[in-house]
Amino acid sequence: MIRHPVRILKYLLVIGGVFVVLTLFSNGVMKSRSDEMSMLEKRLEILKLQNMNQKIPLPIGPDEVSGSDKEKDLIERRNALLKFREDRLPGVAEEAEVNIKDLHRANLPKEEKEKMDWHDYVRMEKDLMRTGNGENSRPVVLTDVDLKEKNLKQSIFKANGFNGYVSDKIALDRSLRDLRPSGCRDKRYWNQLPTASVVVPFYNEHWSTLLRTVYSVINRAPESLLIQVVLVDDGSTKEDLKKNLDDYVAEHFHIVTVVRLKEREGLIRARLAGARAATGDVLLFLDSHVEACDNYLPPLLEPISEDYRTVVCPQIDIIDSETFAIRPQDGGARGAFDWSFFYKRLPKLPQDKVDSAANFKYSV
């Protein structure tokens, strides 16, 4: 005889509810696990389909790779990543291959892995013999300028913030004095380095300073390393920067591309547009009124070739806004980025003063 049928019914309802919840939870876990496995499989498929110049199966034994501690550290991290994948998806380790472009030096035959001198001494010797306005970074001081020319000079200065009138008197491919510390001139760099695309955004840049940037970037870089210069027009309104620029580029340069934005988008979006058009392994972003010094590219590329996570910044000297003379930047400071990627000048650390040709270890 059942004395409390209502109470028993409540118990049955509670037990039934718990069973339903457990069933739903179990289904949810299984679905979540299935989705997770599907995402991992897709990720692995993407990794296998990536554009890879060199592939090696992982894991790699630590004794199989010769190279720096950074390279060995990278191998260890890749092996750990593969172990994680193997734990989650058994049987994948034998098939997985990863892009090791950043480890290309470690996989070179030993006889090919060496330092070399990238300087173009023939061109450097010719530059030393050049004479004329602004050659070898000398100042240009014009004294016999009539009133009309003075007014023109002032209007150009007002539009650009520098003496464009003087710039127009200087050769577009002028020679530069070597302002590097003596130790930098003797340094050698790896004979296998990644290629570079230089991205130069501009907005209503003065004609001669823009083209001088392009000439210096091309003339002072090894041809095998610099494969492209991308000029990004951020909605310029100057007429000479439209068809005239396209025609000049087509006639004088074979590795320069002009990308034009339909309206002004700002520096960052212009850089992104240039990055999308770039084909080099490394992107180098420059202002549109700079001049690159001798052999500027290998010192920037080598740290990246050794650790792809590296962001580099060159020593930046000063172009006088009035005379276009070039003088060294203050030797007692180092260039650095803050966490917002704003460039700043900071005092040198004690270890930075030991070797003037060595890279600053801490750039942030």
Please answer whether residues 265 and 179 qualify as being in contact, where contact means their C-beta atoms are separated by less than 8 angstroms: no
pLDDT tens digits, one per residue of 123-180? 999 999 999 999 999 999 988 777 788 888 899 999 999 999 999 999 999 999 999 8
- In order, the DSSP letters of 92-135 are -TTT-EEE-GGGTTTTS-GGG--EE----HHHHHHHHT--STTG
- Percent pLDDT > 90 in the chain is 50
Q: Mean pLDDT across the stretch 271-294?
A: 96
Tally the residues of the chain. 364
Burial class, 61, CB count within 10 angstroms (exposed 0-12 / middle 13-18 / buried 19+):
exposed
Does the pLDDT value for residue 24 go beyond 50? no
SS3 73: helix
Domain boundaries, the chain: 1-39, 50-113, 121-329
Say how many Å lie between the first and final Cα of the chain, rounded: 82
The pairing of beta strand 115-116 with beta strand 189-190: antiparallel
Q: In sequence order, what are the residues at sequence separation of 6 or more whose Cβ sits closer than 8 angstroms to the Cβ of residue 51?
A: 99
Residue with tokens 């060496």: 114
Look up residue 40 and give its two tokens: 């991992």
pLDDT tens digits, one per residue of 46-91? 444 443 333 333 444 444 444 555 455 555 655 555 554 454 444 4
Kindly state the DSSP code that residue 336 receives in the 8-state scheme: E
Residues 111, 67, 100: CA angle, nearest 5 degrees: 95
- The structure's pTM equals 0.68
| CATH classification for the domain delimited by 121-329, as one of 3.40.50.620, 3.90.550.10, 3.40.50.970, 3.40.605.10 | 3.90.550.10
pLDDT tens digits, one per residue of 164-198? 999 999 999 999 999 988 888 899 999 999 999 99
Three state DSSP letters for 191-253: CCCCCEEEEEEECCCCHHHHHHHHHHHHHCCCCCCEEEEEEEECCCCCHHHCHHHHHHHHHHC
